[in-house]
Structure 1
Amino acid sequence: MSLGRPDSSAAYTIRNRVQFVYGGKDYFNTLLELICNAKQCIHLQFYIYENDETGWQVAHALIEAARRKVDVFLQVDGYASQGMSKKMIAELKAAGVNLKWFEPLFRSKHFYFGRRLHHKVVVADGLYSLVGGVNICNRYNDMPGEPAWLDTALYCEGEASFVLHHICRDMWGDKNLSTIDTSHIETFCDNIPEDEQIMVRARRNDWVNRKNQIWKTYYDIFSKAEKNITVMCSYFLPGRLFRKKISQAVKRGVHVKVILAGRSDIMMAKHAERYLYDWLLRNKIEVYEYQETVLHAKLAVYDARKVTIGSYNVNNISAYASLELNMDIENHSFAEYVVNELEKISTEHCKLITKENYTSSTNIFRRIWQRFCYSFINNVLNLFTFYFRQE
């Protein structure tokens, strides 16, 4: 069987193993292991890369990989990663790390203000990958006295990682990049026992380049679910069509649950999100707020059948502005595991929002403020994206 190609990213690949990964030490231990074990090349794409302990820990691992003659390609967002210090950049480049910014502010050929690289992707040797919502900085890591924000990722071994390798390679934009030896990838994939193989596909959203695969995944979730849907999302502001499909799912008898942030790093977005609580509760959707730290995860599962996980938030910014990347997994055992993990989170670490406690904590002035935040965010999105042109 031939390896998947980037133009087949809409199709499922079969020869894969996967593992559910939480943010914090779990994620960064996996990331550092990927970097340390890379033999040919490693691609990394991140929205935020900061000049702190975690940033330097990853930078030192990349420098060591480059010194081992591994081809290292680090692509970060030109706006959100401006915090990388000149010292860090100089040391990375001196060691041979290839570093590129995605659309630096006011310096890119086709600059769109709201179009940012929101990917969080790592691919080593075209075989091992890590995709989720985790950025490279301390707040996503477990630091002394400060637990990591709640986030998740998917670790994948197999041909889906090869598809990701080509996505990263194409986005790098240099057609002269050396190709990797794929013989070991074919051998590895062929040796995955049939009963361990899991269906995985890469999904992208980039409205300017006419990619809306993740949007379609969520549309299918809301349209096709028969029993239950659970969404865990950091900035949950579904558009009109998604709200309609969610409402229709409830009317079909589907049990819908959303796990949202109790504390948020963007309070205006949280107030806007709470403006929708009245609609959610009226439509008999269970709402939970995570209480331990900031919730930053982005995933959904339905009917213990299919999971999507990655960088995509259920809002119009992810749908129409940012570049997003998710992985879809269609496997009952894995989906059931994710359902159980989300059940633990909602029952042990969340507050259930009811009509009574929502009403008692919300007065007319707070509702006006929430409505203002909701309208403001939608208007800002329109302001930043009205001039976007599809290519």
Structure 2
Amino acid sequence: MFWLVIALLLFIFQILTILIGEFRHPSKAMAWMFILFVFPIIGFVVYYFLAKEYSQRKKVKRKGLRLVNDIRYIGKNHKTSKTLDFEEERLIGWRHEPRLFSLLNNIPGSLITTRNEVRVLTNAHQAYPAMLEAIGKARQHIHFEFYSIRNDETGKKFQAALIQKAREGVKVRCIFDGIGSYQLDSRFIEELKGAGVEVYIFLPAVFAFFDKRANYRNHRKIVVIDGVTGFLGGINIGNEYLGGDAKLGFWRDTHLQLEGDAVYSLQHTFLTDWMFVSGQRLAEPDYFPEHDYPARKPVQIISSGPDAHWDAILEMYFGAITAAKKRVFITTPYFIPDPSIIMSLKTAAISGIDVRIIYPQKADSRLVGYASLSFMEELMQAGVRFYAYQKGFAHAKVVIIDDLLACVGTANMDMRSFFSNFELNAVLYDKDTIHRLENDFLLDLKECVEVKLEVFERRSRLKKGKEVFARLLSPLF
């Protein structure tokens, strides 16, 4: 009897710990409680070590760099978000969207910059040559940060390029995520270091289980060349992004090449991450050089992560979707939205807005695939249209809202990207780039099959059961 009481008290303690720790995310709390009921002790141990929330000031301790200090090196004529208004020629359409503009304009540490050039890179076949060309032209420094880099033909090609530049005297710094790049062997890294490349692993996997921060991964993909050219988007470094995965086949993705003021924001994000992994504070003027790009294309870089006070990317998505007047186009490899996104999509569709979502027919994870399917029926009943990409694996992370804005970056439309990962997105405001991305979306639709509600509702009970089970666990993915 005594041990039964002890076990009951321990179980109650575990439940209370989860409820208190996850009070901001009820669905996540329910998922962990489900695991706790199935695996009473093991579930709590896993929760304690892998998922317990931590605050920016007490646990992560990302000290030092502040964007407001770094941008003092930007030229006097550079207009920050504090001086932009609705009369700006490039933002003239925003005079009818003051609420959304105010939201975007007030995201902490995220400037709307105007002196930029933007190039959309469709798939790795365009992105890799562009990145390698920029690396080859580097004269001062290369900052190279990826969630995943493989020790394969593609990875070795980038390794060779970085080693060559380091031997030429260019300062090369690399950050790789400890989980995303866990297959990267020590020899690959030692070869980089041997040539003078500085390499740090973000929360190494070998210590992951014993580190309460291990659930929080660095999902960013950043390349900065000499502080004036930058890249970000959905593409990591590996053969699979060139279609080398036998299971997934063709890999559909979207990346961006930026030049101009927006690169300062990419640089700031990298240097903040660099300080986190290395303890080195780098904020010299050389990292934010002057340039002469004209004010052509407004770009806003938004970073988010568990170290921030606000869920900036989620809030941006929610605000943009609720402001839509004509259409919302979304491409995402994983669709596990939080309740606010579900409500915004349903409300938009019921209001007569054209809401279309492309997702991959072939999922790289069965559990995630079933979880994604579990959200579709209620949204289709509201008028949201889903399209299953047939050609291969749709890995792009793109959101297009009317002619107002488009968003490209690392964040998936899922709760891990919203709440757990360190992510980075670019919000694009110029119509040429928006129309280019919209055209790509319409071309992708030709490679899709629309999911019809009447057919979807007739799926088997077994499949529905798998979806329910996956959805219960989905907040943990």
- Alpha-carbon shift at residue 162 of structure 1 (Å): 1.6
In 2: Cα distance, 1:163 partner to 1:326 partner: 11
TM-score, normalised relative to structure 2: 0.74
2:445 is equivalent to residue 377 of structure 1: no
2:321 is equivalent to residue 219 of structure 1: no
2:152 is equivalent to residue 52 of structure 1: yes
Match of 1:389 in 2: none
Higher helix content, 1 or 2:
2
Match of 1:120 in 2: 221
| CA separation of 1:22 and 1:169: change in aligned 2, threshold 3 A | same
CA contact under 8 A between 2:267 and 2:287: conserved in structure 1? no
Match of 1:386 in 2: none
Task: Mark the runs of 5 or more structure 1 residues left unpaired by the alignment.
Answer: 382-391
2:284 is equivalent to residue 179 of structure 1: yes
Task: Mark the runs of 5 or more structure 2 residues left unpaired by the alignment.
Answer: 1-74, 81-106
Alignment of 1:294-309 (within 5 A): 294-309=393-408
In 1: Cα distance, 2:167 partner to 2:470 partner: 49
CA contact under 8 A between 1:22 and 1:153: conserved in structure 2? yes
Match of 2:42 in 1: none
Partner of 1:112: helix, strand, or coil? coil
In 1: Cα distance, 2:220 partner to 2:79 partner: 20
CA contact under 8 A between 2:327 and 2:354: conserved in structure 1? yes
Match of 1:278 in 2: 377
Higher strand content, 1 or 2:
1
Aligned match of 2:242 in 136, 141, 157?
141
CA contact under 8 A between 1:63 and 1:95: conserved in structure 2? yes
- Alpha-carbon shift at residue 252 of structure 1 (Å): 2.6
In 2: Cα distance, 1:8 partner to 1:123 partner: 22
What residue identity is the alignment partner of 1:370?
E
CA contact under 8 A between 1:24 and 1:147: conserved in structure 2? no
- Alpha-carbon shift at residue 180 of structure 1 (Å): 5.4
Measured on the aligned residues, the alpha-carbon RMSD in Å equals 2.3
In 2: Cα distance, 1:40 partner to 1:244 partner: 48
In 2: Cα distance, 1:101 partner to 1:221 partner: 34
User: How many aligned positions are there?
Assistant: 372
In 2: Cα distance, 1:270 partner to 1:176 partner: 41
CA contact under 8 A between 1:237 and 1:316: conserved in structure 2? yes
CA contact under 8 A between 1:128 and 1:156: conserved in structure 2? yes
Q: Deviations over 1:141-185 (max 9, x none)?
A: 2559995411111111101002211221121014454735368x4
CA contact under 8 A between 1:24 and 1:148: conserved in structure 2? no
Match of 2:268 in 1: 166
Match of 2:94 in 1: none
In 2: Cα distance, 1:26 partner to 1:148 partner: 14
Structure whose alpha-carbon radius of gyration is higher: 2
CA contact under 8 A between 2:144 and 2:173: conserved in structure 1? yes
CA contact under 8 A between 1:222 and 1:246: conserved in structure 2? yes
| CA separation of 1:180 and 1:72: change in aligned 2, threshold 3 A | farther
CA contact under 8 A between 1:204 and 1:211: conserved in structure 2? no
Match of 1:363 in 2: 460
In 2: Cα distance, 1:144 partner to 1:365 partner: 29
2:204 is equivalent to residue 104 of structure 1: yes
CA contact under 8 A between 1:49 and 1:137: conserved in structure 2? yes
Q: Deviations over 1:333-378 (max 9, x none)?
A: 21122111101111x2111111233234x11111111111111223
Partner of 1:208: helix, strand, or coil? coil
TM-score, normalised relative to structure 1: 0.89
2:253 is equivalent to residue 154 of structure 1: no
Aligned match of 1:228 in 320, 324, 327?
327
Identity %: 26
In 2: Cα distance, 1:179 partner to 1:48 partner: 28
